[in-house]
Chain A
């Protein structure tokens, strides 16, 4: 799995779903060669009268999402619109859910009205015309409620609004204060300081690494590229894409990490498996470069280390600058072909903008907020977390959220790009081979794939 998994429970759910799908030669039973259903409906605005009528007509919606206990937020929606009944279905987290969605869309049956989609997968689904443009339902007016870069993530190249943001993952650094103190290491502010600290720490205690750069975690890699200002992909048209995975900036980031890995000061263990959880619990890694959802996740998976962790921003490439990238985060989208587009669009809008609902997401499901109002809400940001020695970690990440570049784009074939990263760049980390050559290979494989899929590829 190359996707982050937030809880071990959900990890198991995903695993179970993968198991179901793993029946040998089960391919035969799914997939299909059918054409894509229809084109985009004209972006004409739906009148308020139509919306009122739809929202008071008895309707049943199906909503696929893996957020635990999301029924609470959905209940708020049903309270406001008693005519609408929402059936919440957990169809697996990330990959397994997308696989089911694709299959249902191909079969033209059994797909949900509304669905949870991660930011990075929006182009992958909009290119197959699987998502509805939400502009006709007034989505554009919501723009100002959201942190700009999160909104930019859901906007298509022609201004379509493909989904409503739900949570995000601006990246920061969680570190072990006790380990830092023991070895007299100051919190690194730049990547140079980080490299020096990595060498110093590993020399002082060969069992400890300053951090672990997981060989399989393409999500982190994209987050680091995002921070460094690299634009690996740009969607330059409906059938053209720019792929720039091995440019100078990209190589700078890769050289930095492969250098640390080759000298042995940074480990490359695969993440989100038992070995990795144990390593976190037993202090093998002194930092975890992670996203805003990381603090609560760590609290659940490294209980033995409570009180020892602190949070800080990512080290910077240029001293004095303050920029970050993003890892993870989700949206609610409406599926093309739904019979109830208005109700589904309003569901997506309501749960992600209603103050009570968004606050529940932030305080009960610990999703990191994407609305400006909540990120300024003192009851959220000023909450001290005992696991982090009473630090107001939310405030730190709320600040980091504003420093994420808005222009970052995802390709319409993300699964392949992730998978190819693991088999080229990730592999070069694990085997301590030439990472620069691996970047070229990654570029080459991704380009070939894109061309094979009919894209015009600019380099």
Chain B
């Protein structure tokens, strides 16, 4: 730095009182807006506007013959009594109730195991569990679809060698479980990473205090680590609510293998997609999407509400 620059800076630098007088709030706020602007633009353009447009669309009915007419809330009343949509909602709710606890439990155990420091090759283990998350869900589903294959899949062949009937992973009884297995395989590692990161942030004094009190590894995990993980678990849970209710890729790809099991209304998202792109019922699809969004908001809020109440009590 040259002397010259320092001089100039010195000459320009306002005194502290000056800063206070100009109002730190205003000038900082302006800069703040500037920083937030790119996000706000993207947010408006890619989220708010499309949502508003979809809301607008959902109020009309466009038909192949007769063009577009204003339908008011007709699409919504139709959706609320549509057995195919309600069936799909019920299915994803069931999926959420069974798959998510299993996935979070495995993720939590894995995170605690790595954090305990007792594992050998912890890094390899961590990577191994996380790796499926790096596989795109489409690829994962294709892979599992092959494994599930009723004639030539490895499980079927193994069963054949043992003279057992081939497992019917793709039948209507098993399909939801088969999809749950794929989703668990994919996302356990993701949840594990969130939980593990949260564990690393737990202050070490707590562990020391526990050790002084004579707590073993399991007691420490139960009484210190898991309570400390509550906010992180909540994040995982909210993501899972959203993921479950938006289930789309897995059922859509499994549809190729078992089209008679997975129909176009298997999940609400698949139904909305089919309505828009197969039936050209864009308006009704918009209404269905909005209702799905509303269900997700309500479910997320319910999860949040219950967990905060529990933590207070």
A27 touches B285 (CB 8 A): yes
Q: Are B54 and A274 in contact (CB under 8 A)?
A: no
CB distance from A214 to the nearest CB of B (A): 9
Q: Does A145 contact B (CB under 8 A)?
A: no
Residue-wise interface mask of A (402-414) relative to B, using a CB-CB cutoff of 8 A (1 in contact, 0 not): 0000000000110
Which residues of A are found within 8 Å of B68, using beta-carbon distances?
Answer: 33-35
Task: Determine the chain A residues whose CB is within 8 A of the CB of B257 once the complex forms.
Answer: 270, 273, 275
B60 proximity list for chain A (CB < 8 A): 33
In Å, the complex CA distance between A313 and B293 comes to 53
A368 to B153 Cα, complex, angstroms: 34
A423 and B276: CB pair below 8 A?
no
CB contact between B145 and one of A274, A279, A423, A452 (< 8 Å): that residue: A274
Chain B residues near A449 (CB, 8 Å)? 279
Contact between B289 and A275 (Cβ–Cβ < 8 Å)?
A: no
How many residues belonging to B are interface residues under a CB distance threshold of 8 Å? 51
The interface residues of chain A lying within 8 Å CB-to-CB of B279 are 413, 415-416, 419, 449
When distances are taken between beta carbons in the complex, the residues of chain A under 8 Å from B289 are 25, 27-28
Residue of A nearest to B55 (CB): A28
Q: Is the CB of B283 within 8 A of A28?
A: no
Binding-face segment, B16-24, B176-184, B244-252:
B244-252
**Bound form: Cα–Cα A130–B63 in Å:** 15
Q: Considering only CB atoms, which chain A residue lies closest to B265 in the complex?
A: A423
Q: Are A423 and B264 in contact (CB under 8 A)?
A: yes
CB proximity of A439 to chain B, nearest CB, Å:
16
Is the beta-carbon distance between B277 and A270 smaller than 8 angstroms? Answer: no
Q: In the complex, which of the residues B53, B64, B249 contacts A453, with contact meaning CB atoms closer than 8 Å? A: B64
Name the residue on B nearest A423 (C-beta).
B263
What 1/0 mask marks residues of chain B from 45 to 62 whose CB sits below 8 Å from any chain A CB? Answer: 010001101101100101
Within 8 A of A (CB), among B142-169: 145-146, 149-153
A282 CA to B269 CA, complexed, in Å: 37
Expressed in whole angstroms, the minimum distance between the Cβ of B99 and any Cβ of chain A is: 17
Q: Which residues of B have CB within 8 Å of A32? A: 57, 282
Q: What is the distance, in angstroms, from A158's C-beta to the closest C-beta of chain B?
A: 16
Inter-chain contacts of A419 with B (CB < 8 A) = 264, 274, 278-279
With both beta carbons as reference points, the residue of chain B lying nearest to A430 in the complex is identified as: B260
Q: Identify which of A21, A278, A427, A455 contacts B64 (C-beta below 8 A).
A: A455
Q: Please tell me if the beta carbons of B273 and A413 are within 8 angstroms of each other in the complex.
A: no
Q: Verify if A52 is at the interface (C-beta below 8 Å from B).
A: no
Chain A residue at minimum C-beta to C-beta distance from B138: A19
Contact between A127 and B64, CB atoms less than 8 A apart: yes
Q: With A239-B65, A275-B150, A275-B152 known to touch, is A24 a contact of B246 (CB < 8 Å)?
A: yes
Which residues, 117 to 155 on B, are CB-close (under 8 Å) to A? Answer: 138, 145-146, 149-153
Q: Does B203 belong to the interface (CB within 8 Å)? A: no
**In the complex, chain A residues 189-243 whose Cβ is within 8 Å of any chain B Cβ:** 215-216, 238-239
> Known: A28-B54, A215-B259, A431-B260. Contact between A15 and B138, CB under 8 A?
yes
Q: Is the CB of B138 within 8 A of A31?
A: no
Question: In the assembly, what is the distance between CA of A449 and CA of B279, in Å?
Answer: 8
Partner of B249, one of A2, A19, A279, A416: A19
Q: Distance in Å from the Cβ of B25 to the closest Cβ of chain A?
A: 37
| Interface check B308, CB cutoff 8 A | no
Check if B256 is an interface residue, CB within 8 A of chain A.
yes
Q: Are A284 and B65 in contact, with the CB atoms below 8 A?
A: no
Cβ of B258 within 8 Å of any chain A Cβ, yes or no, is yes
Would A31 and B282 count as touching, CB distance under 8 A?
A: yes
Contact string against B for A residues 37-80, beta-carbon threshold 8 Å, 1 for contact and 0 otherwise: 00000000000000000000000000000000000000000000
> Which residues of chain B are within 8 angstroms of A284 by Cβ–Cβ distance?
151
Whether a CB of chain A sits under 8 angstroms from the CB of B286 is: yes
* B280 CB-CB contact with A under 8 Å: yes
Contact between A27 and B273, CB atoms less than 8 A apart = yes
Q: Are B278 and A415 in contact (CB under 8 A)?
A: yes
> What separation, in Å, do the CA atoms of A123 and B293 have in the docked complex?
35
- Asked if B146 and A31 sit within 8 Å, CB to CB, the answer is no
Q: How far is the CB of A42 from chain B (nearest CB, A)?
A: 22
The answer, among B67, B248, B256, B280, for a CB contact under 8 Å with A24, is B248
Report the 10 A-B pairs with minimum CB-CB distance, sorted nearest first: A454-B65, A430-B260, A216-B259, A31-B282, A28-B54, A28-B50, A454-B66, A454-B63, A453-B64, A427-B260
Listed in ascending order, the chain A residues whose CB lies under 8 Å from chain B are: 1-2, 15, 18-19, 21-22, 24-25, 27-29, 31-36, 95, 99, 102, 127-128, 215-216, 238-239, 268-270, 272-275, 278-279, 282, 284, 412-413, 415-416, 419, 422-423, 426-427, 429-431, 449, 452-455
Q: List 22 A-B contacts (CB under 8 A).
A: A21-B273, A21-B277, A25-B272, A25-B289, A27-B54, A27-B273, A33-B60, A33-B283, A127-B65, A215-B259, A215-B260, A239-B65, A273-B256, A278-B152, A279-B151, A282-B152, A413-B64, A413-B280, A416-B279, A422-B260, A422-B263, A426-B259
**Besides the known contacts A32-B282, A415-B278, A422-B263, 17 further A-B residue pairs in the complex with CB atoms under 8 A apart:** A15-B138, A25-B292, A27-B273, A27-B285, A27-B286, A28-B286, A28-B289, A127-B64, A215-B259, A239-B66, A273-B256, A274-B149, A412-B64, A415-B277, A423-B263, A427-B263, A454-B65
